[in-house]
Amino acid sequence: MTYQCKVCKQTFLCTAALELLEQHIENKHAGKKYEECFNYAYVAAPNQATVYQGAKAAHAAFGTEPKKGYPKDQDIEEFDSKEEAYEYIKEKVDYINDDESITYVEAA
């Protein structure tokens, strides 16, 4: 997964820190919001039956730092779309078979 700015089409590696993307917005597109420049990653956390809009929201919920990643024992994955994240949780958790059973947390 790579990040591409919707405004200027500059690309960033998937390992780019969120701070780097935010810095790009401040320096190149002052006044624009994150979602105007980049698509959110959707983070699926099967153990919590939760999908987070954006890595920042997920890291805040887990109390982890972006550089260290997510807890390794929880099968947490990032997806390009909300739908993919929901399907992943439904595949991983036997008793969840509909979207209403999954909690969705929007980016702040």
Q: What pLDDT, on a 0 to 100 scale, did the predictor assign at position 1?
A: 65
Q: What pLDDT, on a 0 to 100 scale, did the predictor assign at position 17?
A: 79
Q: What pLDDT, on a 0 to 100 scale, did the predictor assign at position 14?
A: 77
Q: What pLDDT, on a 0 to 100 scale, did the predictor assign at position 26?
A: 96
Return the domain boundaries, the chain.
3-37, 42-105
pTM of this structure: 0.81
At residue 50, what are phi and psi to the nearest 5 degrees?
Answer: -135, 140
Q: What is the 3-state secondary structure (H, E, C) of 83-95?
A: HHHHHHHHHHCCC
Q: What pLDDT, on a 0 to 100 scale, did the predictor assign at position 96?
A: 95
Specify whether the CB–CB gap between 70 and 76 falls below 8 A. Answer: yes
pLDDT below 50 — which residues of the chain?
none
Q: What pLDDT, on a 0 to 100 scale, did the predictor assign at position 72?
A: 86
